[in-house]
Chains A and B, each alone.
Chain A
Amino acid sequence: GAVVSQHPSWVICKSGTSVKIECRSLDFQATTMFWYRQFPKQSLMLMATSNEGSKATYEQGVEKDKFLINHASLTLSTLTVTSAHPEDSSFYICSASSLAPGEQETQYFGPGTRLLVL
């Protein structure tokens, strides 16, 4: 249980184009999803918290107009990197929050999406 998928797993795009990454919780409903970014040899950096049916909450320093997040359903959140530039090249990981009866919320992560902007 608690499987999270991401699509695509990797993408190469030209500078100036937009890229959409999908995050799905496959076997549970997630009212909250999170988007992270990881640079080589660094920890996960939380970019934003996505709540179904409401606007995402962005971390300080993350441009909301550049990283558009849509959480249209309880099983799907999307991150769109708009007008991508080479400095946006990174490993993007989503997670979905699952709450089992009698348990505290646990985040389950997707496999990540490697973005390379040329």
Chain B
Amino acid sequence: DQQVKQNSPSLSVQEGRISILNCDYTNSMFDYFLWYKKYPAEGPTFLISISSIKDKNEDGRFTVFLNKSAKHLSLHIVPSQPGDSAVYFCAASGGETSGSRLTFGEGTQLTVNP
């Protein structure tokens, strides 16, 4: 049972435009959501997170939106830069998952073209 899903395996965006990465979840007990960025052969890098008591969190070029009723979150990157090209994972914790145990989506490969 895939509780966190990223339905788009890849996304291609032009430099300077907005990148929107989407994530859906099924477990209504999740109360904390995170986005990680990963380059090949490296560990994931924490980008931004959001608690279920909020619907938006912004940090520089990165904004995460949470729609609890739709069980959907998205990561907006604006303006996109070629260095943003990487695999982006969304993750969730809470509910039955003990402590800070994370459930990851499958990842979305973002390519930002110069």
Let me know if A6 is at the binding interface, CB within 8 A: yes
Distance to closest chain A CB from B44 (angstroms):
5
Contact present for A43 and B43 (CB under 8 Å): no
Let me know if B99 is at the binding interface, CB within 8 A: yes
Contact present for A108 and B100 (CB under 8 Å): no
Contact present for A109 and B106 (CB under 8 Å): no
Distance to closest chain B CB from A1 (angstroms):
11
Let me know if B19 is at the binding interface, CB within 8 A: no
Across the two chains, which residue of chain B brings its CB closest to A99? Answer: B100
Let me know if A28 is at the binding interface, CB within 8 A: no
Contact present for A46 and B101 (CB under 8 Å): yes
Across the two chains, which residue of chain A brings its CB closest to B50? Answer: A104
Across the two chains, which residue of chain A brings its CB closest to B43? Answer: A109
Chain-B contact segment, one of A12-20, A64-72, A76-84, A110-118: A110-118
Q: How far is the CA of A6 from the CA of B104 in the complex (A)?
A: 21
Q: A44-B89, A114-B41 are in contact. Are A107 and B46 (CB under 8 A)?
A: yes
Taking a contact as CB atoms closer than 8 A, the residue among B36, B43, B99 that contacts A105 in the complex is: B99
Chain A residues touching B, majority SS? strand
Let me know if B34 is at the binding interface, CB within 8 A: yes
Let me know if B98 is at the binding interface, CB within 8 A: yes
Taking a contact as CB atoms closer than 8 A, the residue among B34, B43, B89, B105 that contacts A106 in the complex is: B34
Q: How far is the CA of A106 from the CA of B36 in the complex (A)?
A: 11
Contact present for B43 and A107 (CB under 8 Å): no
Let me know if A91 is at the binding interface, CB within 8 A: yes
Contact with A along B78-91 (1 / 0, CB 8 A): 00000000000101
Let me know if B32 is at the binding interface, CB within 8 A: yes
